Structure 1
Amino acid sequence: MELSASSPEGVPMGQLYTAVVDFLTEDNWTFRVAEEDVALQFGFRGKSSSWQCLCIVDEEKSFVRFYSILPAVVPEAQRHAVAEFITRANYGLPIGNFELDYGDGEVRYKTSIDIEGGEFTPKMVENLLMSNLTTTDRYVPGLMRVLYGDREPADAIAEIEANDGDDDDEEIDFGSVDEGDEHP
């Protein structure tokens, strides 16, 4: 189901949830509620790939998490190499981290914030989300090279870090969620 800033039936609209919905709506994102999780789901198309995103809001614990779920599942035989890539990528990242589910091979990037005792503003939502999307977009090509056996993890990270600051300042397109897309 697609959302606007109004509350979908049965979904609590606390301050954190409202801040996220308001930002996404005002910034013209297309999103829907993943009803089983009461999470917001949307697609994104960066410079290097397209992927699905999830925002999970926990009003009770005052947490907001954004996940970028990478478009490939890592086969068991490649999980060690991908885990090394992720460990090397995570070292020094100022906000967020990559995660690998060793059970099913899912790779995702997470940014999160604890808002307890504070106010979650639209600018904070934007910073949390954009940090997630730009970091994911930066590392996906290297991850794919490792996944498909084209690069060793250390070499892939070295290439990414050597290209820091070489962006061509292209606009990043905002995606949408197709009704048939599934999320774990």
Structure 2
Amino acid sequence: MTPEDIPSTQPIFAAIVNFFTEDNWHYAQLEKQSTLRLAFKGKNDQYDCYAQALESQQQFIFYCLCPIKIPKSKRRAVGEFLSRANYGIIIGNFELNFDDGEIRYKTSTAVKNHLLDSDTIKQLVYTNVKMMDEYLPGIIAVTKGGVSPADAIHDLP
């Protein structure tokens, strides 16, 4: 898929496809959606990611999913850890689905006049995956190591 294959009514999605093609990411488009599924290999694990164009709302959203699901018994503690992590973060935020234990990191931006440049995409994408990879050891420490949320945040490099 190339930006030329995308209808001109989808300029945000075309910009996303162009960025990931030029940056040599492997991706697949979700069926009937302006969303790409991608994978990123960090220093701590590999992550499933999603890049989504919301043309009518003029928005770009990028998600990185945590590779582990949080068991119900640990969701409150991990929720506290993520809240501590979110405090002070400028670009993006962690989200925890308390129903199924999924954690994701979200970065997004409003896109003026449907014009999304590659520098903006790059900043949002790489900030996103870096944050997930940086905080994964703390998530694991709280989930599997019995470390308190406050100690896990303090122990991060």
- Structure with the larger RCO, 1 or 2 (CA within 8 Å, 6+ apart): 1
Query: Alpha carbon RMSD of aligned pairs, Å?
Result: 1.6
Deviations 1:24-60 (A, max 9, x none): 0011110011115431001111011111000111000
Gaps of 5+ in 2: none
| Distance across 2 between alignment mates of 1:117 and 1:6 | 19
Residue 141 (1) aligns with residue 128 (2): no
| Distance across 2 between alignment mates of 1:131 and 1:84 | 22
Residue 85 (1) aligns with residue 81 (2): yes
Say which is worse superposed, 136-145 or 30-39, in terms of deviation: 30-39
CA contact under 8 A between 1:146 and 1:152: conserved in structure 2?
yes
Identity over aligned pairs, percent: 36
| Distance across 1 between alignment mates of 2:26 and 2:17 | 10
| Distance across 1 between alignment mates of 2:97 and 2:147 | 21
Structure 2 match to 1:101: 97
CA contact under 8 A between 2:34 and 2:54: conserved in structure 1?
no
Tell me the TM-score normalised to structure 1 length: 0.80
Residues 1:12 and 1:67: Cα distance change in structure 2 (over 3 Å): farther
Instruction: List structure 1 runs of 4+ shifted beyond 2 angstroms.
Output: 3-8, 116-119
Residue 24 (1) aligns with residue 20 (2): yes
Q: How does 1:38-53 map to 2 (within 5 A)?
A: 38-53=34-49
Tell me the TM-score normalised to structure 2 length: 0.93
Structure 2 match to 1:7: 5
| Distance across 1 between alignment mates of 2:10 and 2:96 | 31
Gaps of 5+ in 1: 164-184
